[in-house]
A and B are shown apart, each in its own frame.
Chain A
Amino acid sequence: MRNETVLILAIVVFSLVIGSKSPEFFTLANLFDILRSSFVQLLFALGVLIVIISGGIDVSFPIVGIFAGYTAVVIMQKFELNGESLLIPIVLAIVIGTLLGGVNAIAIAGFGIPTLIATLGTAGIFRGLMLTLIGSSFISDIPIALDQFSTSDLVKFESATGTLVRLHVLVIPITLITILISLILSRTLFGRSVYALGGGVEPTRRLGISVKGTQTKIYLLAGALSGLAGILYVSLQRKANPYDLAGSELDIIAAVVLGGASIMGGYGTVFGTVLGVLFINLIKNNLVLLGVSSSWQRAAVGALLVIGITLQAIGESRRNKRRRALSESEVESSE
């Protein structure tokens, strides 16, 4: 069975279980809430997906995100830029995220440092730089446009039971970005090079693909996505806290891996990642409804990550067995 199918089944089963315990679960309001809490994570996850397909791993993205978001807000205030513009902070954050991604690219493509170690190191550097040079204080009066954006709803009405049903306008750009990344991965030479790289570095090089060039593009793109995710996070939270997002790498990496991306590289789909993010959010937001204490959330997500990787390993060994059987039958049929 395909990974995506398993995930859809898991989402359906989990939803039915929660729905049977609490009727509010199957409401439009709740669905929209889950979507809203998934936007930022999905952006981060798309960046992580590209990195993981290429055979790498990135643990610096939450810091890159908050660094970009927080710094954009600080710059807006310090230079008294037009607080009514939504575009300026977003562009600033994307630029900052891309620059930080560039640092990762230099470490990984330039110096050839293993990706986990490189991003672990840069995460520490970025965090230290932000707290000492940019600032370490909580900012609650973020620029007005960012603040207002948090309540820009595409759909907003009161349901029959009196609860407010809101669908955030972000659903449109996030959907477009998701489709765009999916097209990049499946239809462009760059995207196929990412898969090739995950399949093997040496064969990729022999094909005439620039390994360093591809890696550089990957980490720049991941940085840009993280920067955008960071500023949207700040906007949706209506505050800029430099200590936020730390630790969210667990949720995101778990979502991407559960979505079927192989931690060894070479495999992974955008659709799977979308499902992975939704599933993780479903679990995190609704465990409480099942009577599970919220302190168990991290344990649950951690367990899911381990389960996801175990399933991958089992699938791999099954494939191996089938392959063996296949090559034997091939020999027999040729006799």
Chain B
Amino acid sequence: MLATQTAEYSVKDIVKSFGGAKALAGVSMSVSSEEVHCLAGENGSGKSTLIKIMSGVHAPDSGLITLAGKEFAHLSPRQAVNEGVQVIFQDFSLLPNLTVAENIALPTNILKSSKIVGKRETRKIAEEALGYIGVDIDINSPLVETSIASKQLIAIARATNLGVKMLFMDEPTTALTRKEVNKLFEVVDQLRKRGVAIVFVSHKIDEIQEICNTITVLRNGEVVAEGLMSKFKAKEIATAMTGSEIATSRIAPPLGKDSRSLLELEKLTSKNTFDDVSFSISEGEIIGLTGLLGSGRTELAEAIFGKYPVDAGCIKVDGKEVTLNSPEAALASGIGYVPPDRLTQGLFLEQSILRNIVAVGLDRQRSRWGAISKSKLAKIGSSWISELRIKTKNPINPVSSLSGGNQQRVVLAKWLSINPKVMILNGPTVGVDVGSKREILEIIRDRAQAGMAFLLVSDDIPELVQICHKVLVIRHGKISKEFNDKQISESAIYKELN
């Protein structure tokens, strides 16, 4: 099924331009079988273009692709598959309506151009593939009913079936819990031992260090660092990616002594989800909330925003008890919420950046006659674009034209523009590159200094350590541990989580 001797997969001096812009300016990279190679770089550094060239989606302007000794000026998608190049996209490219078995076996049938698809054969192909990577998933269940971690493994199984020799994994750990990441790494390691060259694309430096043997860092379409992983320190990788030093120390702003409490939860309980949760957030305070997937952290955040039912306990905003049974009620009391999945919950992708920014605050911009002044909106939108440094040529471009980090800033701008007293951020830096992440954290810090209270729900422990005054760990719906100021450290939080 796989290559047995060491093979080399490389690109040399690849140049690729789109319109006038150079996406890749002479990139060379080499990956050998039995190695996990990290491809790192910020959004827009050229990573995806390189993947697309090696998988046959784009043809390079110049340069050479060498796959196990065979040279190509460019590849077609079919050629790439025939040479064993497979990509696992962030969205996995799986079909939700089909069963697990079919998702794994369908591409094999297409490759063999078999006209008839037998159910028994489909199951056999799927069982073999899952057995090969050593995972156990019910192949008869519909794909929609499997977890994200399983989907990732299913996508890998599918790739092995197609005779994968070089596997690109695009941000594979984004939505996984630590436990699931461990399982994924086991599988990746197994593939590596069986002679698959793996290219691991990720922003998460601690994970890259854990799994990768070698690294290539791209910035603005050029290779800025490469070599053995062991030769790099975390800080050096971050610096190479962004081109500037990044502070990993704590940057939580100082708290005023007698700041008043803006949000208080008293024994908040929702049956089967969270239980007896009490804490308070004062003016200018940033509180971190973390826990494994399913611990109740998202439900708790949604309950404060009126999206999840509460059975007992009470919520006080600015000292007054409030009933939050709808997002409208929460908004009216001065609570804002940025959901974790900006693509489906937070943004109107095809609408302009400007319209997205003003979407929440529309009501407040109405004139006496109920009309909405376009010029006023444009002014508000533009001021946020410059304040949050959203990189766009034109604010009337659709949000979908922005990179992930900039999209996230639009979501932030949208909620900041209504100036809530308490802002709940759920995974504000998921899928965002190192540079954007730093800027987003700085924005949060600045707002906190101006008096806004933040509840930061996140998986990203380093980020919580950097910016929070207090970190709460939730476990099976209960606050299991509270870390204050000096007690906050990555290792302590990890320990509490696992």
A interface residues (Cβ-Cβ under 8 A, vs B): 186-192, 195-196, 198-200, 202-204, 206-209, 265-267, 319, 322-323, 326-332, 334-335
From B97, which residue of chain A is reached at the shortest CB distance? A266
- Does B21 belong to the interface (CB within 8 Å)? no
Nearest chain A CB to B290 CB, angstrom units: 14
**Residue contacts A-B, CB under 8 angstroms, 14 given:** A187-B117, A187-B119, A189-B116, A190-B115, A191-B117, A199-B97, A203-B95, A204-B95, A206-B93, A208-B107, A266-B95, A266-B97, A326-B147, A331-B179
* Pairwise interchain contact B95-A319, C-beta atoms closer than 8 A: no
Max count, chain B CB within 10 A of own CB: residue among A207, A209, A265, A266: A207
Known A189-B109, A208-B107, A327-B293; further 19 A-B contacts with Cβ < 8 A: A186-B119, A188-B115, A189-B113, A189-B115, A189-B117, A192-B106, A195-B98, A199-B97, A202-B93, A204-B95, A207-B107, A208-B77, A319-B145, A323-B144, A331-B147, A331-B293, A331-B294, A334-B179, A335-B292
Q: How far is the CA of A328 from the CA of B179 in the complex (A)?
A: 13
- Does B111 belong to the interface (CB within 8 Å)? yes
Instruction: Determine the interface band of chain B, counting residues with CB < 8 A from chain A.
Output: 20 to 34
A332: B residues at CB distance < 8 A: 294, 476
Q: How far is the CA of A265 from the CA of B98 in the complex (A)?
A: 12
Q: How far is the CA of A196 from the CA of B114 in the complex (A)?
A: 16
Of the residues B97, B110, B119, contact of A267 by C-beta under 8 Å? B97
A199: B residues at CB distance < 8 A: 95-98
* Pairwise interchain contact A209-B110, C-beta atoms closer than 8 A: yes
* Pairwise interchain contact A207-B97, C-beta atoms closer than 8 A: no
- The digit string for B79-115, where 1 denotes a CB below 8 A from any CB of A, is 0010000000101011111100010001101110111
Nearest chain B CB to A55 CB, angstrom units: 10
Of the residues B95, B111, B118, B145, contact of A326 by C-beta under 8 Å? B145
- Does B62 belong to the interface (CB within 8 Å)? no
From B295, which residue of chain A is reached at the shortest CB distance? A331
* Pairwise interchain contact B110-A189, C-beta atoms closer than 8 A: yes
B293: A residues at CB distance < 8 A: 327-328, 331
Nearest chain B CB to A42 CB, angstrom units: 24
- Does B177 belong to the interface (CB within 8 Å)? yes
B94: A residues at CB distance < 8 A: 203
From B114, which residue of chain A is reached at the shortest CB distance? A189
Q: How far is the CA of A322 from the CA of B146 in the complex (A)?
A: 11
B177: A residues at CB distance < 8 A: 331
**Top 5 A-B residue pairs of the complex, sorted by shortest distance between their CB atoms:** A266-B97, A199-B95, A328-B294, A331-B294, A203-B93
From A198, which residue of chain B is reached at the shortest CB distance? B97
Q: How far is the CA of A265 from the CA of B294 in the complex (A)?
A: 30
Given A187-B118, A188-B116, A330-B147; A208-B110 close (CB under 8 Å): yes
* Pairwise interchain contact A327-B147, C-beta atoms closer than 8 A: yes
* Pairwise interchain contact A200-B96, C-beta atoms closer than 8 A: yes
A188: B residues at CB distance < 8 A: 115-117
Q: How far is the CA of A299 from the CA of B429 in the complex (A)?
A: 51
B118: A residues at CB distance < 8 A: 187
A208: B residues at CB distance < 8 A: 77-78, 81, 107, 110-111
A192: B residues at CB distance < 8 A: 98, 102, 106, 109, 117
Q: How far is the CA of A329 from the CA of B292 in the complex (A)?
A: 12
Q: How far is the CA of A256 from the CA of B297 in the complex (A)?
A: 42
Q: How far is the CA of A330 from the CA of B145 in the complex (A)?
A: 11
Q: How far is the CA of A189 from the CA of B115 in the complex (A)?
A: 5
Nearest chain B CB to A149 CB, angstrom units: 34
A267: B residues at CB distance < 8 A: 97
Q: How far is the CA of A111 from the CA of B244 in the complex (A)?
A: 48
Nearest chain B CB to A97 CB, angstrom units: 24
- The digit string for B272-306, where 1 denotes a CB below 8 A from any CB of A, is 00000000000000000000111000000000000
Nearest chain A CB to B255 CB, angstrom units: 34
A335: B residues at CB distance < 8 A: 179, 292
B89: A residues at CB distance < 8 A: 206
A319: B residues at CB distance < 8 A: 144-145
A331: B residues at CB distance < 8 A: 147, 177, 179, 292-294
Nearest chain B CB to A290 CB, angstrom units: 38
Given A195-B97, A202-B93; A207-B106 close (CB under 8 Å): yes
Nearest chain A CB to B122 CB, angstrom units: 9
Nearest chain A CB to B75 CB, angstrom units: 14
